[in-house]
Amino acid sequence: MPMPATSLPWWLSTTACSPPPPSSSSFSLSDRLAFLFLSPCPQRVVLGGAVDLAFLLAVVFVTVRARLSRSRREGIANGNGDHAEEEPLLAKPSVVAAVPPPPPRGGLRHALALAASVCFAAASLVLLVLAVVLLPRTAWLAAECAFLVAQFVAHLAAVGVVVAEKAAAARSHPAHLRLFWAGTAALAALFSGSAAARYAAREPILPDDAVAFAGLVMSLPLLYFSVTGSTGLGGAAIPDGEDRSCVPGHAAAAASYSTASWLSLATFSWINPLISKGSRAALAADDVPPVAPDDTAEATYALFVSNWAAPPAPGTKAGHPVVTALLRSFWPQFLLTAMLGLAHLSVMYIGPSLVDRFVNFVRRGGELTEGLQLVVVLLAGKAAEALASHHYEFQGQKLGMRIHAALLAAVYRKSLRLSTGARRAHGAGAIVNYMEVDAEEVANVTHELHNLWLMPLEIAVALTLLYTHLGPAVLTAVAAIAVVTVVVALANRRNLEYQFKFLGKRDERMKAITELLNYMRVIKLQGWEETFGGKIHELREAELGWLAKSMYFMCANTVVLWSGPLTMTVLVFGTCVLTGVTLDAGKVFTATAFFHMLDGPMQSFPEAIASVTQATVSLGRLDRYLLDVELDDTTVERVDDAGINPDGVVVEVRDGVFAWDVRGKKENEEGDDNEDDEEGEEEEEEKDVEETPVLETVLKGINIEVRRGELAAVVGTVGSGKSSLLSCIMGEMDKVSGKVRVCGSTAYVAQTAWIQNGTIQENILFGQPMDAERYKEVLRSCSLEKDLEMMEFGDQTEIGERGINLSGGQKQRIQLARAVYQNCDIYLLDDVFSAVDAHTGSSIFKECLRGMLKGKTILLVMRDGMIVQSGKYDELLDAGSDFLALVAAHDSSMELVDQSRQVVKTEYSQPKAVARIPSLRSRSIGKGEKVLVAPDIEAATSKIIREEERESGQVSWRVYKLYMTEAWGWWGVVGMLAFAIVWQVTEMASDYWLSYETSGSIPFNPSLFIGVYVAIAAVSIILQVIKSLLETILGLQTAQIFFKKMFDSILHAPMSFFDTTPSGRILSRASSDQTTIDIVLSFFVGLTISMYISVLSTIIVTCQVAWPSVIAVIPLVLLNIWYRNRYLATSRELTRLEGVTKAPVIDHFSETVLGATTIRCFKKDKEFFQENLDRINSSLRMYFHNYAANEWLGFRLELIGTLVLAITAFLMISLPSNFIKKEFVGMSLSYGLSLNSLVYFAISISCMLENDMVAVERVNQFSTLPSEAVWKIEDHLPSPNWPTHGDIDIDDLKVRYRPNTPLILKGITVSISGGEKIGVVGRTGSGKSTLIQALFRLVEPVQGKMIIDGIDICTLGLHDLRSRFGIIPQEPVLFEGTIRSNIDPIGQYSDAEIWRALEGCQLKDVVASKPQKLDALVADSGENWSVGQRQLLCLGRVILKRTRILFMDEATASVDSQTDATIQKITRQEFSSCTIISIAHRIPTVMDCDRVLVLDAGLVKEFDSPSRLIEQPSLFGAMVEEYANRSSNL
């Protein structure tokens, strides 16, 4: 057959249906294959017919099998005897019969799929009719008609299958239909490609080629439905192969990682069910399966501990125990990731090595089989590269996750064992950072470590392969690499120091924020927000200063490393020109492809160095923490109670000398500031680890014996060592000498109540099983029954963080109930009566101490840390001395009561006003004032802590806009875009210049070639420098603005916000979320913009050179977008869930640090540790499935990109020579090689950016909190000496804590004259504390007026108001710092005034005895001062302030009677002319007041002088009677 004269290959232009005879000289095997697959007639008959017929056969087979199956079922149902033996004896109940399936829902997707199939069938029929009518009768017509008939019938059958899906309510299309649709789309793409080639050569076959493009457009929806598989129908049936994990009861099926097949693991298909679920609906925590057993926190921690090195011998250096244990524990997985890294390295250079061969093949022509071989090798190499790289990443992340889990558990476990001094030295904020930041830094570095050796190896392999193409000229690149490495090493040495300083400042800031949150109530009452906020802002500025220096060094590193490959290209090509090496397109673009590949290693190298740098610092911090001093278990000899005689000694201390470890962090850090030398700093830090504790002896010469069943009371003045004695018995103190022996289990009730965030019942049970009888008895003996009745949800009421919604007395009784319920042998009760009123205290003493914990009496009296006297009560009284003085103080305080009691009638009983109204119920509000609530109030909730807000769905564009425009508005965005685009243009210009010069179409001018190339490279580097600096400065300024907005918003938030928000929730935003904005977003935003511009430019270059590849690029883009959206829906929710499951780990940890003593005493360490492990596991599963989903996406995107590259390469070798510009083949391929990885990186970085934008979303949530009233109102400033008299008039005051909650104060009207002393009394929950909160405007009134000296206080700024009042709060609060900074935080008084105030509060001698005087250290929470001393120091603050109005909120609740009397005496002396409002539990405290205000259920019941109230039946009289009775019983 003669071949037509054409520029196209004959097989592409002929309409013949049979090949030429084999004898033809020009006919070869490759020609036969090309004719079969690319010639129009065989394409339609062979390929099209095969696809259509295969589908029709599959439809027939499936239909016949379904019919046979149905007839068999009907036969069994009709009682067919043949199957009788198969029937079970008891038929299973038919679930389907019981619950009829819901009617199938129609879906838009299903309708579109049906419409697409109908359109295809209709189009085939129309084309068939037109062909028969219009085309001449030839073999071509016969082939055309056969193809169109087969296509019409096949698509008609597809319509039938789609219709049948609706009746069956199928959730997914059957496999044979999806394959048919995919095949149809593939054929349409092939037809269109051939048609495009013919159009380009101006030889189209009409109308077929025009129709082919229409067919491609129509097939795209079918391709989409084929890939997605979902019908969009909602029904009860779930087809085989569909995601069953979404159905209740199939959760286990989703936990498939540990049970998946090797193929599923290789392709990441095991996570498909979760991604399907996530793309359909927002994921809940329960939808995410657990991690594999080997990856749980339990397994990893056990492995870590088993490999922890033995402690070093005294005097020797500890080395690096953390990293040693990690390597011993996880080396097999570390080795596996190394092997995967090598596998990736072995295949990554296949693509670039083929560029030269492709260029030569296109230039000289050749056999199609040779070209096909090149395409197949390219496809296989790139596919293997994708597989290896993603498994390398996945296994590295998994190893990091296991290390993270082990370190989190180790840090938590250590917190339960840490000595008091060590805990104080580190501080709560720093310990939170060890968990949240340092453990994560170390985990993240695991596969960055491989980059330290893989990157140099990749560079070496690339240079070796280049040597084979360009010869010795490549050696000049080695010089460039050496210079870059030295520069980076020097810069990173400096950067290490900046990183270290930055982390130190961040710790200080977090410690300060933790302290601020813990004591926010006191700070607001005193109006000190600006002082404490200013301190935190200063720390933040210092932190940002070090971060900025570090980031600028990182910028320089990035520029140096990025410009490295460009510099190498210039050097190598320059050397080639000088040495006379001939440069052609093949060599040039092979070299540029290799240099593009070097971009990755050379840019990842600084990240690896930076990560290793940060991790080195973090490892040092973890080493110091995990090696720090633990409590010595041998301090106390513990004996099982079983072998002791009934009268045997159960607690024994012999010649005991005990000390507290009082070292503070500040002492250790003196001199650090002057250390500039890095090694000096490291030595300084090492010294911290080895430093022996600084012991201060507190108890001397202690000898005690307590026999079984005895009730021993320990009494003494403030600071005499009562609490320390209990601590030494529990083993919490350092034993200098002597012996301590304890027989049996111990229970402890701390002086400062420690309550967990949970229900009251959970707090009392404390992990023990419920014994209803015992539980009820415990509630009764601890006087909790009435309190629980008043709470709407009883013992199911949830207690807020640190017990914020309970009164002091309730907290104390709940922790007493916890101790009693544990049924221990020995009870250590530290001042259990301090916060309870007389009636309750009397009841507890009788029912609990004398009832459930009945025993005899031995009294121990202590002063100045030595046992002064011990014996029975009567014996000690007879002996006189100190004990007598202490009792005398109590007796004198009772004199007023005793005098007044004689007036009270003996028959007087509790007045009716107190009786509870049965028709009302109560609920827990805010700070815990319990109020009566009418039955019609809206349904309440037992939860005080609100669920953490969790946005769902896509991160809105508003968040991106907020971040991008926060610092410089839209100009910042425009600037970043402009520089990125211009920089990309210079990048492309260099490659166009190379193509142009090496095309061979113009004479080669060496000097011009190199001169222009160097100029373009220089401009590119300058633009990169400006771009990097711009992005960094913008990122840092934005981060600072976000921190300032969030922190200022938190400072201005009302107190109710802190009552209902756990501090962990605020801390996680201030630490990890803020760190993300500081470091990660600053880097990623610019990178994402650059990546997307690079992708766009790469697609333009690739398609411009071989434009038919557009046909392959369109489905690539559609599929990429589909995969990205499917992934993002799941990943976004997993990232949010990860944030939400992370906070409880920190909350639980903070709670544990505060209650470590109680937990240890009850021997609950294991239970708490298990709870911590459970919370870590909950967080891990979100993290694990999140990064698995990331690799799932990446693997698929890279495979799609590889397929497109192969199609483009195939078109290059198969399209006619005049169709492609040969000089651009090398450039096109070198760009195409990077396209798939570029698309993946662009999409994955944009997904990471979206996930990290959640940090902006979370921080912004706390930047717009509702604010309390303004601090200062310029128009309403009170006079400098206001209030002058102290007159207080309250008129119809009504207060509620939050909208839609019941009133707490229900209309209080009171008038107080200046200088009056008013005592406020009332049962728990009567509104005493709320009245003071209202006067300080911690809670704004709903109605009524509060007028002080003629000014309505609601018209004043909050600071103007609060700074004019003095208050001694219920719980004495000291801040970490010095005596000076505690008594005068604002720094407005002179030393002389401070000493006068200390003298007034009787602490002058104590402070003067300290070597540092006013600069004596105060530890975190004032731990190195007794509770009584703390209260006196709080009194000193008020004396210094000299205010006209003083509030005392149960100020003497935590001190003994003697100190109480001291405080009352000081108050009378120092504030004789002031108005004093005092809330008190102890009746003697208010007996010498001018008037007593009795509150009950938020109303004023009585307001008169104490003597008058006692003379007549009154609530106050009843309270006096109860107190007197209790005291006489004691």
pLDDT means over runs of 10, the chain (1530 residues): 55 74 60 73 79 88 82 61 39 37 56 84 84 77 84 89 80 85 86 78 76 82 80 49 37 58 86 86 84 87 86 69 88 88 86 79 76 86 90 91 91 86 78 82 84 84 82 83 76 80 87 86 85 90 91 82 79 85 77 74 71 84 85 83 70 86 51 38 37 75 82 73 82 85 84 82 86 87 81 78 72 86 83 69 78 52 46 56 50 45 36 29 28 30 52 69 81 85 86 75 75 88 89 90 91 84 83 85 83 84 70 74 83 82 82 85 87 90 88 87 80 70 72 75 80 84 85 81 85 82 83 86 79 86 86 85 81 81 82 84 81 79 76 83 80 62 76 83 75 86 85 81 67
Q: What angle do CA 1091, 1097, 1099 make, to 5 degrees?
A: 105
Q: Which amino acid is at 760?
A: I
Q: Which amino acid is at 573?
A: F
Find where tokens 């925590």 sit.
Answer: 285
CA 412: distance to chain centroid?
Answer: 17
CA 874: distance to chain centroid?
Answer: 61
- What is the enclosing helix (H) or strand (E) of 1319? strand 1317-1321
Residue 1299, classified by CB atoms within 10 Å of its CB into exposed (0-12), middle (13-18) or buried (19+), is: exposed
pLDDT in the model for residue 409: 92
Give, to the nearest 10 degrees, the angle between helix 1006-1052 and helix 1082-1105. Answer: 140
Do β-strands 734-743 and 637-639 pair in parallel, antiparallel, or remain unpaired?
parallel
- What is the enclosing helix (H) or strand (E) of 637? strand 637-639
* DSSP 3-state of 640: coil
Spatial CA neighbour of 1469 closest among 1506, 1500, 1438 = 1438
Contact assessment for residue 428 and residue 1150, using Cβ atoms and an 8 Å cutoff? yes
Q: Which two tokens stand for residue 1516?
A: 């106050």
Cα separation, 1341 vs 1301, whole angstroms: 13
Cα separation, 1454 vs 1457, whole angstroms: 10
Which residues, in sequence order, are bridge partners of residue 869?
861
Cα separation, 621 vs 395, whole angstroms: 27
**Dihedral sign of CA atoms 1363, 1364, 1370, 1375 in order:** positive
Do β-strands 1417-1418 and 1377-1378 pair in parallel, antiparallel, or remain unpaired?
antiparallel
Contact assessment for residue 860 and residue 714, using Cβ atoms and an 8 Å cutoff? yes
Cα separation, 1172 vs 167, whole angstroms: 50
Find where tokens 């815990």 sit.
Answer: 928
Spatial CA neighbour of 398 closest among 301, 264, 291 = 291
Q: Which two tokens stand for residue 734?
A: 């350092």
Q: Which residues of 911-935 are buried (b: 16+ CB within 10 A; e: fewer)?
A: eeeeeeeeeebbbbbbbbbbbbbee
pLDDT in the model for residue 499: 83
Cα separation, 281 vs 467, whole angstroms: 54
pLDDT in the model for residue 251: 39
Q: Which two tokens stand for residue 348?
A: 């990554």
Cα separation, 899 vs 205, whole angstroms: 121
Q: Which two tokens stand for residue 157?
A: 């059958």
- 1388: how many CB neighbours lie within 10 A of its CB? 10
pLDDT in the model for residue 1456: 61
> What is the total residue count of the chain?
1530
Q: How far is CA 795 from CA 821, 947, 1411, in A?
A: 14, 20, 50
Contact assessment for residue 576 and residue 469, using Cβ atoms and an 8 Å cutoff? no
- What percent helix, strand, coil does the chain show, rounded to 5? 65, 10, 25
Contact assessment for residue 1479 and residue 809, using Cβ atoms and an 8 Å cutoff? no
* DSSP 3-state of 1456: coil
Long-range contacts of 440-443 (CB under 8 A, 24+ apart): 440/404, 440/1072, 441/611, 441/614, 441/615, 441/617, 441/618, 442/322, 442/326, 442/403, 442/404, 442/407, 442/615, 442/618, 442/619, 442/622, 443/400, 443/401, 443/403, 443/404, 443/407
For the entire predicted model, the pTM comes to 0.64
Peptide bond into 207 cis (omega under 30): yes
pLDDT in the model for residue 663: 67
Contact assessment for residue 148 and residue 131, using Cβ atoms and an 8 Å cutoff? yes
Residue ranges of E strands in 89-136: none
Q: Which residues contact 1391 (CB under 8 A, 6 or more apart)?
A: 1380, 1414
Contact assessment for residue 1417 and residue 1424, using Cβ atoms and an 8 Å cutoff? yes
Cα separation, 386 vs 393, whole angstroms: 11
Contact assessment for residue 289 and residue 1185, using Cβ atoms and an 8 Å cutoff? yes
Spatial CA neighbour of 385 closest among 1195, 1172, 976 = 1195
Contact assessment for residue 1439 and residue 1397, using Cβ atoms and an 8 Å cutoff? yes
> What are the backbone angles phi and psi of residue 232, rounded to the nearest 5°?
80, 5
Cα separation, 1441 vs 429, whole angstroms: 31
Contact assessment for residue 150 and residue 184, using Cβ atoms and an 8 Å cutoff? no
Q: Which two tokens stand for residue 200?
A: 């380009």
Alpha-helical regions (H) of 1053-1107: 1055-1060, 1063-1068, 1074-1075, 1082-1105
> What are the backbone angles phi and psi of residue 1447, rounded to the nearest 5°?
-110, 135
Strands across the sheet with 1491-1496, in order? 1365-1368, 1445-1449, 1475-1479, 1317-1321, 1491-1496, 1499-1504
pLDDT in the model for residue 391: 92
* DSSP 3-state of 660: strand
Q: Which two tokens stand for residue 692?
A: 């022996």
Which residues, in sequence order, are bridge partners of residue 867?
862
Find where tokens 């070796």 sit.
Answer: 464
Q: Which two tokens stand for residue 347?
A: 């295949």
Q: How far is CA 1302 from CA 916, 1041, 1322, in A?
A: 17, 39, 19
Cα separation, 1284 vs 1349, whole angstroms: 7
Q: Which two tokens stand for residue 580?
A: 């006379």
* DSSP 3-state of 179: helix
Contact assessment for residue 281 and residue 1198, using Cβ atoms and an 8 Å cutoff? no
